[in-house]
Amino acid sequence: MTVYQSNFSVGMDGWYGRGDAVTLTPGLNWLKVEGRKSSWHSPGRDFDLTEGCPYQISVQVRQDEMDSAEMMLSVAHTLDGKETYENLARAQVKRDAWTTLQCTYTPGYYEKFVLYVETVGAPEMSFEFRLFRLEAPEGSEAAQAVSQDTGAQELPSLKQVYADAFDFGCALPGYAVNRKEVRELFLEQFSILTAENEMKPDALLDVNASRKLAQEDETAAAVRLDRARPLMDFAKANGLKVHGHVLVWHSQTPEAFFHEGYDTARPLVTREVMLGRMENYIRGVFEAVEEMYPGLIVSWDVVNEAIDDGTNRLRDSNWLKTVGEDFVARAFEYARKYAPEGTLLYYNDYNTAVPGKLKGILDLLQGLLPEGNIDGYGFQMHHTVGYPSMGLITSAVEKVAALGLKMRVSELDVGIDANTEADLRRQADKYREIMRLVLRFRDAFEAVQVWGVSDPMSWRSGTFPLLFDAGLNPKPAFFAVADPAGA
């Protein structure tokens, strides 16, 4: 288990300069090391290590002064007043690339231990380091001793940072609950969960059972929660809220849903049949969820992405073909009819900040308001550092807010071109600006949810868009979200 990790979000955390001239300056989640005059001049920290315990030690280092420089992770240990040294790990660190130094270290009997990072040659080279992590076998005496004695920093908890304003949550795929480290991180950081795919129509609609029922009643729709249950069980066991995603969508909905007898070889059904299927499906979802998980789902995306990017009108979908232009209104009517009291009902869409698309979305929302069945709008903010601008994003939020609807950032991520320090800082800046904007409208926002836990788990993994990296380490973006008022 991790018994110590530095993130430098609240200062030096016990680290000091080894060598009179060394200065250390904390950044978002790194420490800058400058003023070195010798290779051993370095950042160091005292640790109370347990004899005979096989510790895993790792740290990430970066330099931008040489094409490549060799760096080492070392330990200075003291016994009877005599200090001796061991080099534990070394690696070539290329310019502007975070590189990991890691090793297994089993201490002998000493009175004092100092772990530090140094260079091989390059005595005056400045460098940065971050994510110094010390791990001991779970359940060992060393794990308890080190966690108590080092005063290790804990990461800020996003759900606690925003507890007085709105829920802070995350999308999670079903398989992720099998990973202990993901579960622990989720519970530490997030208060509300969205199933990434497990509650979409292709996961909840039982086509085979519906086909059998359709022999007697063409409007029948059978529902099953099999794929959603691991996530729902996880949420229920840990007191998490759940945001349902999604009831009516043109994508990830079985084609058979729209055809006579649930048979794709047969014609599309009539408007009356499709309205019946829509109502029965929505009723079935609410009944199944409330029977197994009463009160767990606090809100739903009732309709998702109905506006077309090209025409800025209703997209040409099977819902439009079978039901007609009022299919969105009817979906909200049925959702309101069967949703438990207090459940918030949202329309959810992307590219809200694009002016043409925004007009189409606003027209749709304004048309829904008179019936009184819609509660809010969900902003899918799948952005990049360069687009859309904060001016466009701000305008979109202001115009939706003017309708008097509740709001949520339903799907947040910010892509970058490359996983470089410069891009990571630009990414952090964009996240910070988005959170500042949301806080301006904090009374209207119900939640902010990032779309995934770590970069490799993202549907946009090639753009490194999330708050945690492949090792579940917090990125600069995480600290920007945790302290949006900071510089």
Tokens at 132, concatenated: 């110094």
Burial class (CB in 10 A: 0-12, 13-18, 19+), 151: exposed
SS3 241: strand
Q: What is the Cα–Cα distance from 329 to 372, expressed in whole angstroms?
A: 10
According to DSSP, residue 402 is labeled T
238 CB contacts (<8 Å, ≥6 apart)? 187
Angle at 245 between CA 303 and CA 231, to 5 degrees: 170
Number of residues assigned to the chain: 487
Q: What is the Cα–Cα distance from 272 to 270, expressed in whole angstroms?
A: 5
Residue found under tokens 């995934």: 452
The residues assigned a catalytic role are 305, 411
What would the DSSP string read from start to end of 420-467?
-HHHHHHHHHHHHHHHHHHHHTTTTEEEEEES-SBGGGSTTGGG--SS
Using CA atoms, how far residue 301 sits from 160, 289, 342, 345, in Å, is 25, 15, 14, 6
Q: What is the Cα–Cα distance from 368 to 306, expressed in whole angstroms?
A: 13
CB distance 105 to 50 below 8 Å: no
Burial class (CB in 10 A: 0-12, 13-18, 19+), 254: middle
Around Cβ 332, how many Cβ atoms within 10 Å?
24
Amino acid of residue 311? T
Q: What is the Cα–Cα distance from 311 to 250, expressed in whole angstroms?
A: 16
Q: What is the Cα–Cα distance from 421 to 66, expressed in whole angstroms?
A: 16
